[in-house]
Chains A and B, each alone.
Chain A
Amino acid sequence: MTISASQHRTRNPLERRYALLGVLLIAPTVLILCAVIVYPLISAIYLSLFSIYTPTLKGSWVGLGNYAQVFGSSGFWGALGTTVTWTVGTLFLQIVFGVAMALLLNQNILFRSLARSLVLFPYFVSTVVAVLIWRWLFNDLYGILSHLLIQFGVVDMPVDWLGKMPNAMASVIFVGAWKFFPFVVIAVLARLQTIPEQLYEAATIDGAGVFGRFFDVTLPQLKEVLTIVILLRTIWDFKEFDLIYLLTGGGPVNNTRTLPLIVYQQAFGLNQMGIAATYAVAMMLVMLAFMLIYLYRARRQAP
């Protein structure tokens, strides 16, 4: 990355003066980004070639040995599978709930802005708070959820929501959907409000019913925003750490241990910093495809 004030030799002094000022203004950003992102990123790749014991930070060169070990282990592939399950599951729910809720909130309902605020809240609340609440709701002795289910006769024993499979994965996916679906709501809602009313009127005149209007007018108009939302949420769900770590810690028996959790576990649980870096880099490589697609799309429709 080179940034310089002189672009063409033909530039006149005024343009050079401006370019210099521009570089000066961006300089703090570049310095900080280099120090806290570029340098750590490169050193993460470098560290992934070492075997390092966390408490002493003493390391020895192992080259690509870590990668051979990671890609050869069932741990990585298992965690990758878990990550994909979690991402696909929670993303699916987020999109379905999100679009449905956006459509409802776009109706002319009473106290609409209050309803919107309430729906938004889970997204902005700290993951720690969200997890505490849900662990209390899931509580095996006094949790309201099991009690309600018992009262309505759905089950006759308190459910072990987080301690066994497939409950744990389902719970994590569900809580994830609850926490993150408002993002979809806002994005879709914003787009819905820009769809011209004439389109619906024209479709109605052409004989389209409620569903016809949704599939022929609304959905095509939402295609663009949904693509971007799905890309972004895929990336963010894929790298989600807090929610899963705090809900299940990866359990039971590593069944909800996604890739970010493995990185943390290796580095600060098993004290294997080198191999943890390897996991992190490997994970980033998997994500890179989505990141590049998003970058491409975002650049294409740059402001």
Chain B
Amino acid sequence: MMPARRSTTMLANLVTWGLVLLISFPLIWMVVTSVRPQTELFQIPPTVIPRAITFEHYIKLLQETPFLRYFMNSMILATSTTIVVIVVGTLGAYSLVRFSYRGRETLAALVLFTYLLPSVVLIIPLYLMMVKLGLANTLTSLVIAYTTFALPYALWLLRSFMAGVPEDLESAALVDGASRIGAFIDVILPQALPGIISTALFTFILAWNEYLYALVMVNSDQARPLTTGVMNMLITSFNIEWSLLMAASVMMSIPLIIIFAFLQSYLTRGFGAGGVKG
């Protein structure tokens, strides 16, 4: 019995880790390519382990391309979208979960509906709207556009986090002398905080990774975020420098890596609450 079991575990380990490495291979390859000297890149046949490690591509990326500008734009864009969406969404979710008024149920259904709506349906009218408002080619236009998917998404997540705070806690605060808003600030907000943080992380990632709106709304390097910016580097270059693009890809994923390394528990929490539980 025992030896059989041990070998099954061994097999499970081997198969699982084999698949995990296979799945991660593209990402590993990205990192490997980005630190490999240009000369090694065009070797035929290519080798898996680089013979020398260099950061020349990263230096070039930061010094000779508009990458840093794109990075800053993305940072501003994702941060402002997250702040707007979290502030509005937290209040909205509290209202949807703990108050009763006519139209509340309809509104909740509408939020879920908009959460599923394809961007391409909204993008044409939104583009026309931005042109009319004179906001085309600005980061503001993107913050506005990003709320179309980020706000319903955040509301849906936050709603389920708020619903998870025991109602008795709020009742206790009310009896103890707090107003509704007082109870919200003293009790519900601290209790929902982990949920709010994970929603904020998801919103940030969503905004950080967005491509289509950025492609349509922004047409200048001044306001271009990373996604369209880096893609532009690929399209406009005469001679595609893959090491440079891989370095850009790594740099672009840094916020993600930070979140993964330090805040992973928030990530899995949000995942459970949002998508699947309904």
B124 touches A44 (CB 8 A): yes
Set of chain B residues within 8 Å of A267, measured between Cβ atoms: 123-124, 127
CB distance from B35 to the nearest CB of A (A): 14
B138 contacts chain A at the CB level, 8 A cutoff: no
B114-157: which have CB < 8 Å to A?
Answer: 114, 116-129, 131, 144-145, 147-148, 151-152, 155
Contact of B16 among A105, A232, A287 (CB under 8 A): A105
A19 and B100 in contact (CB under 8 A), knowing A280-B124, A294-B116, A303-B163? yes
List of A residues within 8 angstroms of B15 by Cβ: 104
Cβ < 8 Å to A, chain B residues 224-257: 226-227, 230-231, 234, 242, 245-246, 248-249, 252-253, 256
Binary B-proximity of A110-148 (CB < 8 A = 1, otherwise 0): 100101011111101111111011101101011010010
Most buried by A among B23, B100, B205, B246: B23
Within residues 15 to 47 of chain A, which ones have a CB less than 8 A from any CB in chain B? 18-19, 21-23, 25-26, 28-30, 32-33, 36-37, 39-41, 43-44, 47
Q: Please tell me if the beta carbons of B107 and A57 are within 8 angstroms of each other in the complex.
A: no
CB-CB under 8 A for A121 and B92, given A105-B16, A132-B246, A295-B113: no
Would you call the interface of chain A mostly helix, strand, loop, or mixed?
A: helix
CA–CA, A187 and B275, complex, Å = 8
CB-CB contacts below 8 Å: A263-303 with B: 263-264, 267-268, 273, 276-277, 280-281, 283-284, 287, 291, 294-295, 297-299, 301-303
Does A86 count as interface, using CB distance less than 8 angstroms?
A: no
What are the residues of chain A within 8 A of B3 when measuring CB–CB? none
On chain A, the residues within 8 Å of B272 by CB distance are 186, 190
State the CA gap A241–B23 with chains docked (Å). Answer: 23
B107 touches A142 (CB 8 A): no
Minimum C-beta distance from B240 to chain A (A): 9
Sample 18 A-B pairs with CB under 8 A, ordered by A number.
Answer: A19-B100, A21-B180, A32-B147, A36-B126, A37-B114, A37-B152, A57-B128, A109-B12, A109-B17, A110-B13, A128-B226, A132-B245, A142-B42, A150-B45, A229-B275, A268-B216, A283-B118, A283-B121
Question: Is A208 in contact with chain B by the CB < 8 A criterion?
Answer: no
**A30-B107, A127-B227, A239-B120 are known contacts; what are 10 more A-B pairs with Cβ within 8 Å?**
A1-B107, A3-B102, A26-B104, A32-B147, A47-B128, A101-B23, A109-B13, A132-B230, A186-B272, A239-B119
Segment from B25-33, B52-60, B190-198 that makes contact with A:
B25-33
B44 at the A interface (CB under 8 A): yes
Pick the residue among B17, B117, B147, B242 that contacts A142 (CB under 8 A). B242
Given contacts A241-B120, A246-B211, A268-B216, contact A107 B16 (CB under 8 A): yes
**Inter-chain contact A225/B252, CB cutoff 8 Å:** no
A2 at interface by CB-CB < 8 Å: yes
Contacts of B278 in A (CB 8 A): 228, 297-298, 301-302
Q: Are B211 and A242 in contact (CB under 8 A)?
A: yes
A268 contacts across to B, CB distance below 8 A: 216
Q: Which residues in B have their C-beta under 8 angstroms from that of A37?
A: 114, 117, 122, 148, 152
Q: How far is the CB of A218 from chain B (nearest CB, A)?
A: 15
Q: Does A165 lie at the interface of the complex (its beta carbon under 8 Å from any beta carbon of B)? A: no
Q: Is A10 an interface residue (CB 8 A)?
A: no
Within 8 A of A (CB), among B199-240: 205, 208-209, 211-212, 216, 226-227, 230-231, 234
